Amino acid sequence: MNRIGNLITKYRRENKITQKEFADMLGVSNTAVSKWECGSNLPDISMLKPLSKILNVPVLSLIDDSINLDKEQLIREKDYQKEKDAKEKLIKEQEEYKRYIIKLRKKLKCRKILIIITIFLVVVNLIFIINLSNKNKNIKLKNNEYENNKTIAYKIVSEDENLSLEAIIIIRGSNVFTNLNYLTYHENKRGTGEEINVISFELKIIVDNNVIYTIGHQQKNNKNNTLNELIKNTDFNSKTNKTEITNAINKINVNSDSKLIINYKNENSNDKNTITIPLKFAEFSE
């Protein structure tokens, strides 16, 4: 449970920021920061981007410091933006130059001068077209590379009243990183003596028929326990799943079909029983 808290503490100290300064920068209380770092509470999902900006680390590093963003790719993304800005500036300068020539032509009466200016303008335009064509090719290549490697974050929540769940999905190119913040199952028969008793369970989050998160739990000595208790005693937050899905950045979105599958066994039967619960996507916002 204290994985994110430990990372917040680590990066805060590396940036030489006190807890009070950190709390003031985020607009929260010093107590809230203390609870995050000691693991008694987790920051809201909406705080991840502000945290990453203040601590000067990627969002991924706040979830799992073993996930490293490609620094060269970040540089390429910045180069792409610079190239785009340069193109816009070049077009603007060319338009200003054309307007200047038009005004100059109106003032000049000498035919020879007009011919020279016209020839010069044609040459300038040819050079511009050639340069722009080359730049467009580079920008298209950089744009395709940028689209395939940009990062998008979503959160997943439950649509079932018997299940409380929040997970974070971060997609970068074809890589999907999934971290389950918390999961609580509220069985309808709880307290009636008819609860589901199990010795093991396996949990999967499936998006568009792709398994992006899986975790299992086996009760010691095959001792029966309720499904509620077994899920409650499982530390989901300590695990981050990485899945490769071709072109995931363009395939997975808020309209993707997602669900939670819970397979479980009890001590009186080797048959697998299954619970299916629908989930929904929400785009991660700052």
The pLDDT tens digits of the residues spanning 174-204 come to 788 887 776 777 766 655 556 677 777 787 8
Tell me what the pLDDT averaged over the chain comes to.
76
Cα–Cα distance, 219 to 199 (Å, whole number): 5
Assign 69 to helix, strand or coil.
Answer: coil
CA distances from 266 to 66, 225, 227, 239 (A): 36, 9, 10, 25
CA geometry: angle 43, 45, 166, nearest 5 deg: 105
Q: How many helices (H) and strands (E) does the chain have?
A: 9, 10
User: Which three-class secondary structure state does DSSP give residue 174?
Assistant: coil
Quick one: pLDDT at residue 230?
72
Residue type at position 71: K
Convert the pLDDT of each residue in 217-241 to its tens digit.
666 655 667 777 777 777 766 667 7
Q: How far apart are CA 202 and CA 72, in angstroms?
A: 38
Contacts of 161 (CB under 8 A, 6+ apart): 186
pTM: predicted TM-score of the whole model, two decimal places: 0.47
CB contact at 8 A, 199 and 216: no
Given the DSSP bridges, would you call strands 175-185 and 240-244 parallel, antiparallel or unpaired? antiparallel
- Assigned token pair, 34: 């203390």
| Whether the Cβ atoms of residue 81 and residue 139 lie closer than 8 Å to each other | no
Please tell me what DSSP assigns to residue 284: -
At 21, the pLDDT band (50, 70, 90 cuts) reads: very high
- Using CA atoms, how far apart are residues 257 and 121, in angstroms rounded to an integer? 57
Nearest to 20 by CA among 29, 8, 11: 29
